Amino acid sequence: VNESNDIEHPDTIEHKSSVSESENESLTDSNYLTITPNTTFPPIEETLSTKTPCEDDFEIIKLISNGAYGAVHLVKHRQSHERYAMKKISKTHLILRNQVEQAFVERDIMTFTDNPFVVALICTFETKRHLCLVMEYVEGGDVATLLKNIGGPLNIDIARMYFAETTLAVEYLHSYGIIHRDLKPDNLLITAVGHIKLTDFGLSKIGLMSLTTNFYEKHIDKETKAFNDKQICGTPSYIAPEVILRQGYGKPVDWWSMGIILYEFLVGIPPFTGNTPDELFVNVINGQIYWPDMLDEST
C-alpha cells in the first residue's frame, strides 16, 4: 500500500481521533512516546560508532518503499560508509491507529531474531516524530517484483530454493512462538547472491520469546495455544480462512500463506482472486483452486 508519509501537525488532527489536545501537543516533545531505546546491537558495534546512534549518523540515499505507518529508505552510515535500510515509523500514525504496542512487538522480534534467512536489525533510535529501525540492506529487491518482471512463474529450481529458505525462516520463528501474519512475496527479499531474507514484522505476534518464558500469556488460549486476537490483518490474497472467519489464529495461518506463496511461485499468480476483498474472502472460504495444465506432474 502506497501512502503519503507526510506527518500531520497535531493541530490538524484534533477532530480525527480521540487523542486529547494535550496529548497532541505532546507529539512535538522529543521526550514523548519513547518506544524504541537508543540501542546498538552486537556485533554491529564494530561497524557503527560506539556512541548512541542518531539520525545524523546516516545519509539518506533514496526511498525504497512507502507504507501506512512510514517509509523505508536506503541510507549510508557516514562513518563506515556501509549501506542500510532505515524504516521510519510515524509516532503520530502509531497513536492515531492504536498501534503503539505493535511497534514494541516489531522491535522486540527483530532484536531477538538471529537467522540467516531473516533480515537483521542493526540499531534503533528515535527522532522528534519518528521511531527508526536500521536494518541490513538487501540489494536484490523482493520476490513480488521479480514475479511481476517475469510475468509468470519462477524457474522450478529457483522456486524450490526460495520456498525452502522461507520455510526455514518460518520454522525458526515458530520455534520461538513468533507468528509473522503477513507472509507474501513482497516480504521476501533477495540477497546479492540470490538467497532469501524474510522481512517486515509490523503485523507479527509473539508467543514465546524463550522456550520457558511466555511474555504474552494473557493473549493465548490455554487449550488451543492460539492467539485470542480476532482481528483480520494481513494481505487479503494470503489470509487464512480462520482469520477471515475471526476464529483466532496460530502457527497454521503462516503455513496457509506459505501454500499461497508456493502456488504463486509455480503459477505466477495467487490462487484466489476477487474484485473486492469480500469477494476474494468468499473464494478463500470455498477453497476451490484452479491448477493449470502447464504444471509438470513432478512439481
Identify which of 2, 137, 155 has the alpha carbon closest to the alpha carbon of residue 76: 137
Phi-psi region of 98 (alpha: psi -120 to 50; beta: other; left: phi over 0): left
Answer yes or no: are the C-beta atoms of 285 and 242 closer than 8 Å: no
Q: Out of 182, 229, 293, 296, pick the active-site residue.
A: 182
Q: How many CB atoms lie within 10 A of CB 15?
A: 5
How far apart (Å, rounded) are the C-alpha atoms in residues 111 and 51? 19
- Cell numbers placing 54: 542518531
Helix (H/G/I), strand (E/B), else coil: 242? helix
Answer yes or no: are the C-beta atoms of 281 and 275 closer than 8 Å: no
User: Is 182 marked active-site?
Assistant: yes
What are the φ/ψ torsions at residue 75 (nearest 5 degrees)?
A: -130, 160
Q: How many CB atoms lie within 10 A of CB 170?
A: 22
Identify which of 235, 232, 242 has the alpha carbon closest to the alpha carbon of residue 270: 235
How far apart (Å, rounded) are the C-alpha atoms in residues 150 and 141? 14
What are the φ/ψ torsions at residue 176 (nearest 5 degrees)?
A: -115, 20
Answer yes or no: are the C-beta atoms of 62 and 73 closer than 8 Å: yes
Identify which of 153, 141, 142 has the alpha carbon closest to the alpha carbon of residue 271: 153
Identify which of 158, 165, 157, 208 has the alpha carbon closest to the alpha carbon of residue 183: 165
* CB proximity list for 31: less than 8 A, separation 6 or greater: none
Would you name the residues annotated as active-site residues? 182
